[in-house]
Structure 1
């Protein structure tokens, strides 16, 4: 069954300053919702520099705002060198507000940053609340180390603002995996709004397989956006050079945000290892992960969902600064037996890393360790949207039997 709507609109905000995680998560949710609800239109506001490199289904579109990038020290800077950060943030804030005024969404979903980058969404939240828009905050199952998140949110009074503005808080993970607000003083009002929807399951598109997929078995090495992934890929190449008996074919995806100088260096270095093939980027990572025997990654949220969705043995070498999100996620997943983890300094030991890589394809799949793992996030979000539509009780809703 599919619910048909004359017109319902969802606006999504994805600030995107370092990688691709926020946009890819928003896009996954948007595509799932337009499959379930005809007449639903979704517009994604994104700061990702390559937002246009992805395919979007009918009734899903995006608005590109000027890009801001996060530096390795955690600070931000404007991507446009001729504009300072303050000017760029003013432009972003204005475009976000104007888009909301023009699009007039029924639901506004904000990804991860409750008030947006440097508070750029707060004005729009205030405006939309006055006109009755349902406001939803979507949080990763792991945000950051509690002491870091607590300090950041206290400085900007974020928890009080979440309680004031938002109608719902969706956590994109199951409650028994991790609580993103653990260690924080959470008001009862915010707790009451929280719904742990589960991990967001990924599936294959019906398009042709990407040209980059190698023939035969391979392990996939991915660092997500690639902005801080060069060290991991250097370590993989060094492991292959250290141990000639490591002969798994490896497909390495550098990521679109890897600096050009580091990219060239890795391509030249990898060309000397016959078992390694390096590509810069593929916008359909689901297909590459689905075709792999195993995955080596830093363990961002989206990659992790893909590892679980396609049930692939995985070796995770997490980022440990400036945020500890990947480290927390990897430790919890390793504790549950879902993945194997090496710390970055452990991966620098080429002999140890080579042994882990050799054993990886024979490691049990995640489902062997946790057969009840829930990947129901998209289904649960769809049901929450359906409940919201029922509450609205619009007289022009009809149910189309047997639609697909």
Structure 2
């Protein structure tokens, strides 16, 4: 039987300033945890503008904080046109702190950004630590190139703060695939708290098929949130114009694609008989599962979906403002899990068209002997996370803490 945890609570923080990756990862983990333990409830703090566009399981909910967007130059600005970044950050800090005080979580999980956007959760971390809450930092398999991440974290004194606050560091990938802290001088105390969970397996939601899903056999082009995906879509459309026989292609533009570029791409797609475009689908898993091949930029969630549904994939990673996608794509291509094409090569319509034509016949990730031998295809991240959570929440605790505060 599914174990029961009476009134156990987990609070998750997803800063969400660019794309949908952080919220989607938190949501996957939250759903796995409430499925593993009856009585457990999860609250996700999210900054994405479309947090409400996703479906959530019973006992999973979210708190929306004011949205901030990360620009292509790495700077941030408030999504509220007449509100300064400083005022927006102050509101976010207050909501995060008040949510933590009201929700009384047993575990607090931070996604990727150790101190939050501009340090917005440090005060909350200090408060929760004083209450005996388990504090967990969840990192992607790849963060960034060490020559970029190292100076950024040194400037913010991040590693010392991780050692001060966090009890456990989950790396959402298998050991040996990539070390997200490689090249950094990491305190031994931090290294000792690292646990590789394995990749997070994705499954098809138990609900109807999306109305706009074509019959199986299409190429799926996705850039996640789409904020910087216009160039890839333009390259795909140019390849179709060069070679109309590529076959059916479904392009998911993403909710953050700028309006002007969205209008241009929608107009161009109307002239291409084998190209269908949609702006967003909250069940992208089904679209990946039905595709004959996936073309993407190699973000964490897309990569997990490619592995989960065993789809041939062509990755065209971005290299600004971070090298995360390029590092992941290079490692995955080295293992034979995906094919990789630098963005500069896609500007040749003939070369890109040939790559798209060949994609459905490319080897699937499951054919990679090196990845299988290393255990990279286990995709057991949720199970490992659930085991950790169970160990903490089923252990004897001081039951009076929450009762005194309530």
Match for residue 388 of structure 1 among 387, 392, 398: 392
For the residues of structure 2 that align with 1:249 and 1:310, how far apart are their CA atoms? 19
Deviation of 1:389 (Å):
2.2
Partner residue, 1:52: 52
Counterparts of 1:219-368 in structure 2 under 5 Å? 219-246=219-246, 248-368=247-367
Contact 2:136 2:169 survives alignment (8 Å): yes
Report SS of the residue matched to 2:6.
strand
Partner residue, 1:124: 124
For the residues of structure 2 that align with 1:380 and 1:164, how far apart are their CA atoms? 24
Deviation of 1:116 (Å):
0.2
Per-residue CA deviations over 1:248-282 (Å, capped at 9, x if unaligned) read 21000000000111111001101111110001100
Partner residue, 2:27: 27
Report SS of the residue matched to 2:129.
helix
Deviation of 1:243 (Å):
1.7
Partner residue, 1:94: 94
For the residues of structure 1 that align with 2:393 and 2:27, how far apart are their CA atoms? 21
Deviation of 1:81 (Å):
1.1
Partner residue, 1:109: 109
Partner residue, 1:83: 83
Per-residue CA deviations over 1:371-399 (Å, capped at 9, x if unaligned) read 3422110011011111112323689xxxx
Segment of structure 1 superposing worse, 334-343 or 371-380: 371-380
TM-score normalised according to structure 2 size: 0.96
Return closer, same or farther for 1:392/1:349 CA change in 2, 3 Å cut-off: farther
What is the CA RMSD across the aligned residues, in angstroms?
Answer: 1.0
For the residues of structure 1 that align with 2:211 and 2:319, how far apart are their CA atoms? 33
Runs of 4+ in structure 1 over 6 Å off: none
Partner residue, 2:155: 155
Report SS of the residue matched to 1:357.
helix
For the residues of structure 2 that align with 1:244 and 1:91, how far apart are their CA atoms? 51
For the residues of structure 2 that align with 1:64 and 1:283, how far apart are their CA atoms? 17
Segment of structure 1 superposing worse, 236-245 or 12-21: 236-245
Report SS of the residue matched to 2:226.
coil
For the residues of structure 2 that align with 1:226 and 1:17, how far apart are their CA atoms? 13
Deviation of 1:206 (Å):
1.1
Aligned length: 394
For the residues of structure 2 that align with 1:9 and 1:216, how far apart are their CA atoms? 40
Per-residue CA deviations over 1:285-340 (Å, capped at 9, x if unaligned) read 00100111110001100000000000000000001111110000000000001000
Report SS of the residue matched to 2:179.
coil
Counterparts of 1:112-191 in structure 2 under 5 Å? 112-191=112-191
For the residues of structure 2 that align with 1:260 and 1:229, how far apart are their CA atoms? 12
Per-residue CA deviations over 1:123-171 (Å, capped at 9, x if unaligned) read 0000000010000000000001111110110001000000010000000
Deviation of 1:209 (Å):
0.5
Report SS of the residue matched to 1:171.
strand
Contact 2:244 2:274 survives alignment (8 Å): no
Deviation of 1:364 (Å):
0.8
Contact 2:319 2:326 survives alignment (8 Å): yes
For the residues of structure 1 that align with 2:244 and 2:217, how far apart are their CA atoms? 18
In structure 2, the gaps of 5 or more residues are 400-406
Segment of structure 1 superposing worse, 371-380 or 152-161: 371-380
